[in-house]
Structure 1
């Protein structure tokens, strides 16, 4: 399972991230601490603490593919 760290700082970034996640075949999870939600669910994303870094996980993509797909949201 591939993982990357991201940050979602604005409402528009959350919407854009959600749309990008919807384009990925298979499951895409978003983790914040002990909580894990479906990254394709806008309501799930908003239930997380967005002030912290988030972890994106995908079983169908490599880490490099995830980095390219979500390059705009990578945590530095």
Structure 2
């Protein structure tokens, strides 16, 4: 299981992240504190709020998704 910390600051970044997650054939979870959301749900990700450090956990490999994660990575 891979884990990255990201920060999404506006709706455009959320849309970019969710689009990349939706193209993956493996499960991706995004969490803030104790709340865990399916990263392929735009409403769920927006509901977590913006400008927070979010933890992304995923169990597969996809180059496009890795590039998007790198764009928004804080650590």
Check whether TM > 0.5: yes
Residue 61 of structure 1: how far off its partner (Å): 3.1
Q: What's the counterpart of residue 70 of structure 2?
A: 71
**Distance in structure 1 (CA, Å) of the matches to 2:68 and 2:12:** 17
Runs of 5+ unmatched residues, structure 2: none
**Distance in structure 2 (CA, Å) of the matches to 1:2 and 1:13:** 21
SS across alignment from 1:50? coil
1:49 to 1:69, Cα distance in 2 relative to 1, 3 A = closer
Q: Structure 1, residues 16-48: CA drift from partner, whole Å, max 9, x if none?
A: 011011111110000111000000000110111
Residue 69 of structure 1: how far off its partner (Å): 4.2
SS across alignment from 2:18? helix
Runs of 5+ unmatched residues, structure 1: none
- The equivalences for 1:26-37 within 5 A come to 26-37=26-37
Higher mean C-alpha displacement, 45-54 vs 24-33? 45-54
